[in-house]
A and B are shown apart, each in its own frame.
Chain A
Amino acid sequence: MTFKNLFIEHRRTPEAQAWIDEEVAAQEQRFQTIEKQMRDLAPQREIWYREFFDRISTIGFNADGDDKVRIKPEDLPVQPEGRRDRVVWKHGTDTD
């Protein structure tokens, strides 16, 4: 991907705009489905988090490449009070 402004100005046809509008609507549907699936995965994820904590405190945390650092159990994080587990962020840092 670039961002070299490799785009040539042109007038977008009504046809193309209609296509985009349709795809945007379909994408919103897809997003809703994914968000629900990922919410439903939360109980499984909780187990995965615990297994992750077990591994990084016994086998080690990959600090850089294959360099592993064992995290002391007392240094493992705790879930902040009142914060639900969330993995889908629609617009990244701009998500509501």
Chain B
Amino acid sequence: MARPHIEPFCDRDVNFKNMLLPGFGRGMGYKMLSLDNDTGACSMTVQFDGGYSQAPGFSWSELEMIVIEGELQVGARKVRKGHYFFVPAGYALPALSSTGGAQVLMMYNTGEPSHVEATEHHPLSQVDLYHDIDSYMDIPWAVGNVTKPSVASGCMIKLLNYNPISHAMTFLYCMTPNFYQDNISYHDCAEESYHLWGTSWMMQFGDLPSGGYFWRPAYINHGAFASEFGCIALGRTDSKLFNHFHYNPWTTPVENRARSAARIYQRDPLLYRWMMSKDHNHPHSPQDFEQTMARRGPDYDHAAAAVSDGKEHHHWHGHHHRHDGDHDHSHSHEHGHRHD
């Protein structure tokens, strides 16, 4: 049953355990932050000891990583703290090693940690989705209003990964010293955070220090918010982040969810009525025609179907100067409205 609510937790309060799953080799310690009971998907603080090395290979699960401390050799490249990786399932990473040791936040999103030695990607891997970046040096801070209503100024973000379908996000966020935001928030999505450095405070859970962590299922109240000396953290959501702000600390997740639905009803009444009234209690989600419609496919004769080079515009009502022969300005007015 998904991941339980783990909040607050601090990885400094527990010891590293040896990673004994096959493929990871010796010298890899981990602290479990949260785990999905069924799929084995999990987030861990990982310690690679000095001299650690891992053969090239892929995971059966999608993986995200950010270097917390130290240096990591990834193939021919040396990456440092703040370096972020989005690694699709089946994507073969080059050999990974650390001379002086490193700490890395590792998030296996769709299955338990696994490492299969390979120098080629799995044929089913969506390799185009791979990306990595030095998030500390190569991305500027942006104001935190990725969603509206938004956080108070002083909370800024760097977007690291965005899913255009679910709107799920991975991002760095920081709070300036003396940040505060006086509201209670909840979301329609799960939210996760790991404090890379610094302390922030929430009215429900108290202080979250360096190494502090939470995995929070949807609709759970959090906030007001404050940070006396500032903090920097990695945050994630598993679908669209919308800030439902309010000031009642005693509401339950069920009441919060009802309020979310009420707000859809107030904002999109037609859609809401359709969703509630139609007999579509089938186990699957409503159909998105963009995912199911018939498409031409690779064998279609595109050339035969084409009527222009893509630059002719029959809907433009301009004067089409026909240049037949020597400047014979016949000024034929083409008003060809093609509605076929």
Contact = CB atoms under 8 A, between A and B. Distances in A.
| A and B found bound together | yes
B112 interface: yes
Interface stretch (B120-128, B291-299, B317-325): B120-128
Interface string A54-80: 011001111111101001000011011
Contacts of B4: 27, 31, 90-91
Contact of B152 (A15, A65, A83): A65
A1 B250 contact: no
Interface string B308-327: 00000000000000000000
Contacts of A63: 149, 183, 245
Contacts, number: 185
Contacts of A90: 4-5
Given A44-B206, A77-B250, A64 B150 contact: yes
Interface in B116-154: 122, 124-126, 129, 145, 148-153
A92 interface: yes
Size class of the contact patch on chain B: 35 or more
Interface string B180-208: 01110000001010000000000111100
Nearest to B58: A8
B9 interface: yes
A4 B109 CA distance: 10
A71 B247 contact: yes
A2 B166 contact: yes
Interface in B2-37: 2, 4-9, 20-22, 32, 34-35, 37
